[in-house]
Structure 1
Amino acid sequence: MPQHLVANFSAYITQHKLFDPTQKVLLAVSGGVDSIVMAHLFKQAGYQVGIAHCNFQLRGEESVRDEQFVQQLAVSLTLPLHTVKFDTQAYVTENRVAIQVAARELRYNWLEQVRAAEGYAYIATAHHMQDSVETALMNFSKGTGIAGLHGILPKQERIIRPLLFTEKDMLVAYASFYNIPFVEDSSNITDKYTRNYFRHHIIPQLQEVFPSAVKNMAATIEKMKEAEILYQEAITKHRKRLLFSKDNTWMVPVLKLQHSVPLQTIAWELFREFGCSPAQTQQVLGLLDSESGRYVETATHRIIRNRQWLLITPTPTLDAPLVVIEASQPNIHFGGGQLHLRQQERGTANIPTAPEVAWLDAKQVSFPLILRRWKQGDYFYPLGMPKKKKLSRFLIDQKLSLPQKENVWVLESAKRIVWVLGMRVDDRAKITPATKEMLCIEFSK
């Protein structure tokens, strides 16, 4: 019954610990029946609240009407009012987003600003049971996985939804029973928005077959919320045994993943955090039986088969620019680390050797030097070898993974490579008994 709605409303808030009754709550009120009834319920229950209304200026006189209506509501309920006008179309143009996205971003950003500035503990929105069911059905249709099937959550950070316990019909009945006026948003009538299509067509057809479809689905959603807790606990355990981090790379052991059960679900949860879509998850699983070097590129990362591992690295950015090094520059900072250069006489002491240090015959090096990433077609004469070798072949022999290859830098002098940084000096620039002056270059990441 409509008259029991206030008691059920307060019970739901207490059951889900949405907020402490001593705290203030900011109500997002549009003027529609849902938010208007929510404002009356908060007032009747005796909670400390204020009203916030956004005018998106998208529906001409109707937008003005809604704002004036909410102003009158605040006066009649003797509640504080906060209003704002947005140039939503300008925001759409500037940020290249859909109108719905623009309105949502503008609304929630502003509501949070008001909440923080005016001392409200939470922001309350008027999402009800049907809204939650619509969300779950849309997520199910899009294939978002189990996380999308819990519908709308009662509480997320500073946002609370205290009407999720009740159906839309009950809110309309409450407004009718107590003669509470409200306004209708004409944009809710059109089917061009996905949610409206589900609201006007999908759910009514389900209710023709199952009259209690919304309540039944809402009850299932509650079960899904609890099942998701167990699910996430299991996924966390699989992540710990399958996902390892080293430097800027995540690593997944191929054999362990192949023997994981259930494989499809674990793979989806493992790789979706790296921009992997459901279709791409199947491609990633295909890497388990492929040779080294094959990869799948997602929106944000590259997943590469490298021997017994899948390596996950951020998608490579554009090639780094060339770095020109003059003789007067002893210290160079670049995308791959830094170089320290110094010249000294040959002397008679033994020269210490280390991969990160190059000792070059100063006579064989001419400035300016060029520092750049390696590219296909590069070649050099590896120290101790009389014949030239393609750098791509040299890197294969060094058993480097694709991400490691992409981070290899070379140093050029007079259009020839004199050093593959951190790996090998060119034989033509090496120190010999005839060397009188040496150029020492130290590389550090």
Structure 2
Amino acid sequence: MDLLKEFKDYIKKEDLFQPKDKLLLAVSGGVDSVVLCELCKQAGYDFTIAHCNFQLRGEESERDEQFVRNLATTYNVEVFIKKFDTNKYVAETKAGVQEAARELRYSWFKEIINGASSFLYLVTAHHANDNIETVLMNFFKGTGISGLHGILPKHNKIIRPLLFATKDEIKAFAKENDLSFVEDSSNTSNKYTRNYFRNQLIPDLQKTFPQVEKNLIDNIERFKDVELLYQQSIDLHKKKLVEKKGNEFHIPVLKLLQSKPLATIIYEIIKDFGFSSQQVNEIIALLQSESGKYVQSSSYRIIKNRNWLIVSPNKTEEAGNILIEECDKRIVFQNGALEINKILNTQYSIINSQLTAQLDASEVQFPLLLRKWKQGDYFYPLGMKKKKKLSRFFIDQKLSLTDKEKVWVLESNKRIVWIVGLRIDDRFKIIPSTENVLQVNLISQ
């Protein structure tokens, strides 16, 4: 195999970069990154070296740093060196050692590229065997179809021009070109997940399936095409199902129920909002539930409201549909805040203000829904026994177009309780038999 020719052909085929682009090479000093340097040199590419010293292996880490400094001198290129207190970072973030090292190095690489406009790309020495390990780990972790394409040859400003080559081919090139490199002793330890796959699982598989490496490399290419087709289909479903409204996303329940495969489509929609695959069944159950039920992630809620699922930010000041639980005392929204108190009939005094709603608590069913009004909404204005559309009510109140756009309603079990700041619904007014009063105050911005 002519590795140099394959290297240049792969870069051209994948359109990774142009021959005159300036590259930043991530170099550990191991055989992979040393071969990457040599290939770039022989191909005539313009590159600079960057090396991370994570200070995890004592003298060996210092040896690697010095080796890379010498390598840069050999190639007559600039070198960036960064020492990290990785153990301190692990203690502070509670991350695993490998995860911490990855976060530290890519954050630093980004700083270099952003700080020096001459560098167009970061180049890493990931190869075909790295890709195999990544795909297998993703498969066993359950990352879905997107995890089966493995490491991409180009992602934003990161390029991996050695993904076509196996470890054995890289070693053979190093031997042919009499290249020196350093060995990382931690690569032999199976305490790291990747090393277990590399040193134990894959060699065991090769005993039964000698062609396992080649087959997996071929399959990775197929998985890329499968994912492309899969994503095209998912994008079509999202386009038909998900309607963006301000900071929210609305999904029609009946249309969603007719979509197949339901669980997969739901997962592909909700994962963008911080929901996990384990929550898919909760969302499916939500489709058949009553209004007001919801499922929550760290940043969003999915609320069932009549025939819609509403994906709404947990930060209520950003949301257009906000659920209010019985325990909530204060809710912030776009127009200000609602303060909610439950008081005994004998302990309240009548407040004649449009900014306060005093309601018969026995008629109010939680959770309440605070939302913007919409066409078709109606209520029974206080003192009237007939319903009136909000659009008609606004005309009677002589509200301007701008005023109408700012109107919110408070809803209980599909019934409007209060046109916030304007009028309560007659069905929820306080009567002589009222025992408890729900008092809601609007605190304007």
Taking structure 2 as the reference length, what is the TM-score of the superposition? 0.75
Residue 150 (1) aligns with residue 116 (2): no
- 2: distance between equivalents of 1:395 and 1:421? 17
Paired position in structure 2 for 1:236: 235
Paired residues for 1:25-40 under 5 Å: 25-40=23-38
8 A contact 1:374–1:408 mirrored in 2: no
Alpha-carbon RMSD across the aligned residues, in angstroms, is: 3.4
Residue among 2, 5, 16 paired with 2:3 = 5
* Residues 25-67 of structure 1: per-residue CA shift (max 9 Å, x gap): 1110001111111111111111111111111111111110000
Query: Letter of the aligned partner of 2:188 in structure 1?
Result: I
Secondary structure (helix, strand or coil) at the match of 2:106 reads helix
8 A contact 2:26–2:33 mirrored in 1: yes
Paired residues for 1:227-376 under 5 Å: 227-315=226-314, 335-337=332-334, 372-374=338-340
Paired residues for 1:401-440 under 5 Å: 401=369, 421-422=420-421, 424=423
8 A contact 1:122–1:160 mirrored in 2: yes
- 2: distance between equivalents of 1:218 and 1:376? 65
Paired position in structure 2 for 1:91: 89
- The 1:232–1:61 alpha-carbon spacing in structure 2 relative to 1, beyond 3 Å, is same
- 1: distance between equivalents of 2:364 and 2:344? 10
1:234 Cα deviation from its structure 2 partner: 1.4
* Residues 80-134 of structure 1: per-residue CA shift (max 9 Å, x gap): 2111112222323333433222211221122122234341111100100011111
- 1: distance between equivalents of 2:342 and 2:106? 49
8 A contact 1:293–1:402 mirrored in 2: no
Paired position in structure 2 for 1:348: none
Query: Letter of the aligned partner of 2:38 in structure 1?
Result: H
- 2: distance between equivalents of 1:52 and 1:378? 70
1:306 Cα deviation from its structure 2 partner: 2.1
8 A contact 2:22–2:46 mirrored in 1: yes
Residue among 108, 112, 124 paired with 2:110 = 112
8 A contact 1:24–1:49 mirrored in 2: yes
- 2: distance between equivalents of 1:392 and 1:303? 27
8 A contact 2:316–2:333 mirrored in 1: no
- 2: distance between equivalents of 1:93 and 1:408? 48
- The 1:395–1:116 alpha-carbon spacing in structure 2 relative to 1, beyond 3 Å, is same
Paired position in structure 2 for 1:185: 184
Query: Letter of the aligned partner of 1:100 in structure 2?
Result: Q
- The 1:403–1:279 alpha-carbon spacing in structure 2 relative to 1, beyond 3 Å, is farther
8 A contact 2:205–2:212 mirrored in 1: yes
Paired position in structure 1 for 2:168: 169
Query: Letter of the aligned partner of 2:268 in structure 1?
Result: E
1:259 Cα deviation from its structure 2 partner: 0.5
8 A contact 2:420–2:442 mirrored in 1: no
1:423 Cα deviation from its structure 2 partner: 5.1
Secondary structure (helix, strand or coil) at the match of 1:374 reads strand
Secondary structure (helix, strand or coil) at the match of 2:19 reads coil
* Residues 121-157 of structure 1: per-residue CA shift (max 9 Å, x gap): 1110010001111111111112211111110000011
Structure 2: unaligned runs, 5 residues or longer: 318-323, 353-357, 374-407, 411-417, 430-440
Paired position in structure 1 for 2:437: none
Query: Letter of the aligned partner of 1:60 in structure 2?
Result: G
Paired position in structure 1 for 2:68: 70
* Residues 223-269 of structure 1: per-residue CA shift (max 9 Å, x gap): 22122222212111111111123343322111111110121211110
- The 1:253–1:198 alpha-carbon spacing in structure 2 relative to 1, beyond 3 Å, is same
- 2: distance between equivalents of 1:336 and 1:249? 14
1:212 Cα deviation from its structure 2 partner: 1.9
Indicate the percent of aligned positions where both proteins have the same amino acid.
Answer: 47
Deviates more, 1:308-317 or 1:201-210: 308-317
Deviates more, 1:111-120 or 1:281-290: 111-120
How many residue pairs were aligned?
375
8 A contact 2:338–2:442 mirrored in 1: no
Greater C-alpha Rg: 1
- 2: distance between equivalents of 1:322 and 1:253? 31
Residue among 58, 61, 64 paired with 1:60 = 58
Taking structure 1 as the reference length, what is the TM-score of the superposition? 0.75
1:200 Cα deviation from its structure 2 partner: 1.5
- The 1:32–1:390 alpha-carbon spacing in structure 2 relative to 1, beyond 3 Å, is farther
